[in-house]
Amino acid sequence: MRVLFVNSHLDKGGGQALQTLQLFRALRERVDAEYFVLAGEGVHQELLREPGVRSVGAFRYPEGIVSLGRAMRRVAAEFDLVHLNDVYFGLPAAYLAKAYPRVVLFGTDPALEVGWRYGPGATLLLRSVLPVLMSGTTLVTNSAPLGESYRRYAPTVIPNGIDVRRFDHLPDRAAARAELGWDPSEPVVLYVGKVIPVKRVEWLLEAVERVAGVRLVVVGGYREQFYGDSYFRDLLADHPRAQARTTFVGEVPSSTVDTYLAASDLFAFPSRFEGMPNAVMEAMAAGLPVVASDIPAHRALIVPGRTGILVDSGAEMGAAIVGLLADDSMRRRMGEASREYVRAHLAMEVVRDQYLRLYRTVLGERNPD
């Protein structure tokens, strides 16, 4: 079986890009696969050198759609199936290229995401063209709630997965802190993700203002193509008391994130909506308890009181952080339960095999192996 992966970008990072790269690596252990992407001039340039990955154009709209479509059209006959990991570039490109059969993954709700960036008019436009683009396409969603939102397309639900082997040999907390130059004893709450409005980072700063003696470390870019840095500047202006105890690291290579996870005491993630957040899954795989917003995506991952705590406000997030930092045994217990949950249910090998079964179903093959 030959599978062509397609995504808008890898080098700009983001949870979905990193998720699909992990899946691609795992699939290449079983099938012949290549990965077409657009170059976004991000900090993760090493990902473009991954075996099997080919940059076929620049990450610009709408030129990138044309570049991906041309590249797919040239090689379509060489592949048995096209796996699209991007709704905005890859799906229209595959439609124009008449690349079939094809599978598309919705990693988050595209209508919500487009609406948040561009307003309700963009949401209406997407909903109007989506039935055309989805014609003859098999839909995969990474959570049941997201699948329910798009049930008209009869989606298959396959969760995101984690390469748990990455977390087998993390440095211990003291070594990781020494590598990063952190205070060995200061309690640290970690957030990994973009600093954009949908992530609701203001909850974190509200929490820091309420919790004495804790440091918040924010790993992720705070200047984004569609927002600039206005949200980041507003955060600083609105929460001056939190600045002294907040470190904005900026975006770092994905390989460095593991060190930040190993050095931290707990993970916080206040996002307004998600599909199945890679950042939360990686924190759990690293053995960190998670304090997260009470949204469907987080309810699917976090068992309250066992692997983490779900909250509805910055004040509740601060209270949960206080409770966890005050109870070492509960923090360790939750972290271990998180690690066990990911290994049991979300190991990439399990997810890979679900995709292989889906591919064979789409191709009409009977043998699941």
- Divide the 369 residues of the chain into consecutive groups of 10 and give the mean pLDDT of each group: 91 77 92 92 80 92 94 93 93 94 92 84 91 95 90 94 89 95 95 92 93 92 74 91 92 87 96 88 95 92 93 94 93 94 91 95 71
Q: Where are the domains of the chain?
A: 2-161+347-362, 164-345
User: What are 112's two structure tokens?
Assistant: 């919500």
**pLDDT score of 366:** 52
CATH architecture of 164-345: 3-Layer(aba) Sandwich (3.40)
The answer to whether the beta carbons of residues 101 and 136 sit under 8 Å apart is yes
Residue 114 to residue 120: CA distance in whole angstroms = 8
Residues 6+ apart with CB under 8 A from 271: 193, 198, 199, 200, 277, 292, 293, 295, 297
The answer to whether the beta carbons of residues 42 and 11 sit under 8 Å apart is yes
Confirm whether 2-161+347-362 and 164-345 share one CATH topology.
Answer: yes
Residue among 286, 270, 152 at smallest CA distance from 202: 270
Residue with tokens 């990911």: 342
Measure the CA angle with vertex 184, ends 182 and 185; round to 5°: 120
Please report the sign of the dihedral spanned by the C-alpha atoms of residue 162, residue 163, residue 164, residue 169.
negative
Q: What CATH class does 2-161+347-362 carry?
A: alpha beta
pTM, two decimals, is: 0.84
Q: What are phi and psi of 217, to 5 degrees?
A: -115, 120
Task: Give the number of C-alpha atoms closer than 13 A to the C-alpha of residue 353, restricted to the C-beta side.
Answer: 8
**pLDDT score of 368:** 46
**pLDDT score of 76:** 87
Whole-Å CA distances, 272 to 15, 114, 240, 297? 15, 14, 23, 10
**pLDDT score of 369:** 46
